[in-house]
Chains A and B, each alone.
Chain A
Amino acid sequence: MPARVVTLQIDGRDVTARDDQMLIEVARESDIRIPKLCYVSGLSSYGGCRMCLVEVEGTSKLLAACTTAVTEGMQVRTVTPRLTEYRRMILEMLFAERNHVCSVCVSNGHCDMQWLAQHLGIDHIRFPYVYPNLPVDASHDRFVLDQNRCILCTRCVRVCQEIEGAHTWDVMGRGAQSLVITDLAQPWGESESCTSCGKCVQVCPTGALSEKGRSVAEMSKRREFLPYLTMMRGETGNE
């Protein structure tokens, strides 16, 4: 069935969209930027980071804008005191859960998480830090995986499967103990499926994946390639 055109309101503005589009994408087209960490344009939606929670008239639940399709007459608010407080809380929990030491991180100054914390006015973490002991995998010739900085957004997993078609990355374990792994939790350098394309590194929102040899604050990511690749492959993907 072909997509229909619907009209809705985001932050009081009337917008039109196709009914197969997600809220976050429609908002972006109208220059309304909803905070996000796991969503990245050109990959499937995961709905894991909960940064893009929005309020929708008629439901008391907060909905993730990256997994909520637009409907006719929908009224959406993307910035409210309640949303800001939840976004802060979620981000603070991410900071407390692993060892995000911005001052010595390769991604210092180029990090989505650091930027978002600043943007949301976070000046300290209200939750006790967990300080888990996590490994760093530097076995690959060109790239490094630092689990200390990983927020489990699965951008690496999705780009590897959906764009590169290698499916080197996956997630092991449950909850806060989950880890992103290469192949069957083998060292990245020994992975037989990895093509060393580096797309995972470029989409990673933090310093969890970086190019080898980058020092503090030297790892800026290049994301521009992703929409083009998606476009060239056609919009059907693996759906």
Chain B
Amino acid sequence: MNERKPTLATVWLDGCSGCHMSFLDIDERLLELAQKVDLVYSPLVDRKDFPELVDITLVEGAVSNEEDLKKIKKVRAHTNVLVSLGDCAVTSNIPGMRNPFGVRSIIDRAYVDTVAIPRPAPSTVIPRLLDRVRPVHEVVPVDVFVPGCPPSADAIYKVLSDLIAGHKPDGKSNLRFGA
């Protein structure tokens, strides 16, 4: 065993940040985790680029737009153990509810049908929506799945503890889709 602590990253794609909130809900155990890992990249960390190689990356959210797609491919290429965290990442969940209707109709609903003075939908700066929202594992290979909306703090803590200790979670942490 070398001196280096495992590195941890968290990524936020199309989700509500609830999974990150649930992660923070592990409360004082965060201090214990902080002794065991280096948090190197996260919405909670001021760092612009994803590091060269991360041991464990938690991904919250589904893949909904071109930026998500670019991001998750990069994350996958630079991560050892990729964890799909929460129902949006695992099933596409709420973001995926637009899939039956097609992307055109939801843009119209947001920018045309429901506004007093319709303006064209933004076509620059904001990333273009993909035709279909996809769970992470339909886009890149995923190593560990943690369903739940959100997964409980205890479940996240258990999975992280297992991974930090160097073994794959046993999948018996009583996880389920939904809340």
Report the count of interface residues on B (CB-CB < 8 A). Answer: 29
For residue B142, which residues in chain A have a CB less than 8 angstroms away from its CB?
124
B100 near A108 with CB under 8 A, answer no
Structural contact, B138 and A123, CB atoms closer than 8 A: no
How distant is A104 from chain B, measured CB to nearest CB, in Å? 7
Cross-chain contact of A131 among B87, B94, B99, B171 (Cβ < 8 A): B99
Bound Cα distance from A123 to B136, whole angstroms: 13
- Determine if B149 is an interface residue (Cβ-Cβ < 8 Å): yes
Cα-based distance from A131 to B24 in the complex (angstroms): 32
Note all chain A residues with C-beta closer than 8 A to B22: none
| CB of A109 closer than 8 Å to a CB of B | yes
* Count class of interface residues, chain A: 20 to 34
A123 and B97 in contact (CB under 8 A), knowing A103-B87, A117-B176? no
Most chain B CB neighbours (cut-off 10 Å) among A114, A118, A132: A118
Q: Is the CB–CB distance between B178 and A123 below 8 Å?
A: no
Find out whether the CB atom of B100 lies under 8 angstroms from the CB atom of A99.
yes
A74 contacts B by Cβ under 8 Å: no
**Does B96 reach chain A (CB closer than 8 Å)?**
yes
In the complex, A231 has a CB within 8 A of chain B: no
* A100-141 to B contact mask, C-beta < 8 Å, 1/0: 111111001101001101100101110011011110000000
User: In the complex, what residue of chain B is closest to A107 when comparing beta carbons?
Assistant: B178
A124 to B178, CA, bound (A): 12
CB neighbors of A among B90-137 (8 A): 90-94, 96-97, 99-101, 132, 135, 137
Beta-carbon contact of A123 and B93 below 8 Å: no
Nearest opposing residue in chain A for B97, CB measure: A101
Q: Which residues of A contact B132 (CB under 8 A)?
A: 131
Q: List 5 A-B contacts (CB under 8 A).
A: A101-B91, A108-B179, A118-B177, A123-B171, A124-B90
- 18 additional contacts (CB under 8 A) given A101-B97, A124-B147: A95-B91, A99-B97, A99-B100, A102-B179, A103-B94, A103-B149, A103-B177, A108-B178, A111-B178, A114-B176, A118-B175, A124-B91, A124-B135, A124-B137, A128-B138, A129-B135, A132-B100, A133-B101
Residues of B within 8 A of A (CB): 84, 87, 90-94, 96-97, 99-101, 132, 135, 137-138, 142, 145-147, 149, 171-172, 174-179
